């Protein structure tokens, strides 16, 4: 399936800058699920969130978890500090499951990290990589009168199509030693 054949391609879609990619291929969660259902052997869904997000918040059953970054924890002077640690093996880990012309659908929480991941894969020669622009959790509800105001419940995978908490150990990448404590 070429980029031009799929109706979900939206090269000129109006997106926030942080969700735009160099390839210009975008789908929402429902479109991504439809693409996967139409060709489950030819389309791979890659969830670039942390293993913690993937496991505790939920994920598409068909998704591989290849984190763009890991969360690091450290204790200093009685205070816990945390932050992202980029996954230096991200592209190599994708190469273990997909070739440069395979159709890949990338997601994160809401479309920003997955856009960064699409750009990394594009720089590595991948040509058919879509950003799932509403991610797993979706965009925030912007309605001060709603009990869901400020919550990520407007769209996204979890609000559109089936998902699970169960983990297939073959589809998740955990970094050894990501949780360090030093006094």
Give the domains, in start order, of the chain with CATH numbers: 17-171 (3.40.250.10)
pLDDT at 13: 55
pLDDT at 111: 95
pLDDT > 50? residue 179: no
Using one digit for the tens of pLDDT, what is the confidence trace for 105-146?
Answer: 999 999 999 999 999 999 999 999 999 999 999 888 888 998
Using one digit for the tens of pLDDT, what is the confidence trace for 75-112?
Answer: 889 998 888 899 999 999 999 999 999 999 999 999 99
* Token digits of residue 173: 């990448």
Mean pLDDT, the chain, rounded, equals: 88
Q: How confident is the model at residue 8 (pLDDT cuts 50, 70, 90)?
A: low
pTM for the predicted model, two decimal places: 0.84
pLDDT > 70? residue 11: no
Using one digit for the tens of pLDDT, what is the confidence trace for 163-176?
Answer: 999 999 999 988 64
pLDDT > 90? residue 6: no
């Amino acid at each position: 399936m070429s980029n031009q054949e799929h109706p979900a391609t939206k090269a000129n879609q109006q997106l926030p800058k942080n969700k735009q990619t160099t390839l210009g291929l975008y789908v929402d969660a429902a479109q991504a699920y439809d693409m996967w259902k139409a060709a489950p052997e030819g389309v791979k869904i890659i969830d670039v969130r942390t293993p913690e997000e993937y496991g505790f918040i939920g994920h598409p059953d068909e998704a591989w978890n290849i984190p763009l970054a890991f969360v690091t924890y450290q204790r200093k002077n009685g205070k816990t500090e945390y932050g992202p640690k980029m996954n230096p093996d991200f592209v190599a880990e994708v190469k273990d499951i997909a070739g440069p012309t395979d159709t890949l659908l990338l997601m994160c929480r809401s479309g920003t990290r997955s856009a960064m991941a699409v750009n990394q894969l594009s720089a590595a020669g991948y040509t058919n990589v879509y950003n799932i622009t509403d991610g797993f959790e979706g965009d925030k509800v912007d309605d001060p009168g709603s009990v869901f105001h400020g919550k990520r419940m407007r769209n996204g995978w979890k609000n559109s199509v089936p998902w699970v908490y169960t983990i297939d150990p073959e589809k998740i990448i955990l970094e050894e030693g990501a949780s360090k404590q030093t006094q």
